[in-house]
Amino acid sequence: MQTKLHLFTKGPIPYCWSYRANQLGAATGVIAQCLWFYVGIISSYTFKLDGNIDVLSGISRQSRQKCLKRLHDAGLIKLALLRGAYPIVTILDAGQAGRRNQTPTPTALETKTFDALAKAGTGPNLRETNFQKQGYSHEKQTTLNFS
């Protein structure tokens, strides 16, 4: 890879995707960062890797393959292995990344005190916040489609 000072990693890189990738190990986190570099260069979430990833990451071919397999097993990427060639990688939706084995978490925190006040008709109405007045809703969050 030639010295190209004008190249950079284009963002935003989804936090939950990056966090999950970094939890898989240091080398896997480096490979994950390199994959996002490719996304910025190619402007697509599906791309074929080349020899530059080994130079960019500083990781051996065997370690790179293990890292890609870990990212695939975690549900962060889709990996198409080609015999005798570099693999084709698709970065998957960050909203669903790594959620295969996780239990769902509650979206709203409520306490019995607030429920009792709301039922009694006294106290602040916590369900109607400024966010909801402006049209924001947890149910209507935008999801990214990487296809």
Q: pLDDT digits over 49-108, tens only? A: 999 999 999 999 999 999 999 999 999 999 998 898 999 999 997 665 545 544 444 444
What's the pLDDT band for 7 if we cut at 50, 70, 90?
A: confident
Give the per-residue pLDDT at 109: 42
Domains and CATH numbers, the chain: 15-96 (1.10.10.10), 106-140 (no CATH)
Q: What gap in Å lies between CA 40 and CA 11, rounded to an integer?
A: 7
How far the first Cα of the chain sits from its last, in Å, is 28
This prediction has a pTM of: 0.61
> Does the pLDDT at position 121 exceed 50?
yes
- Over range 124-146, report the average pLDDT: 50
* 20 CB burial (10 A radius; 0-12, 13-18, 19+): buried
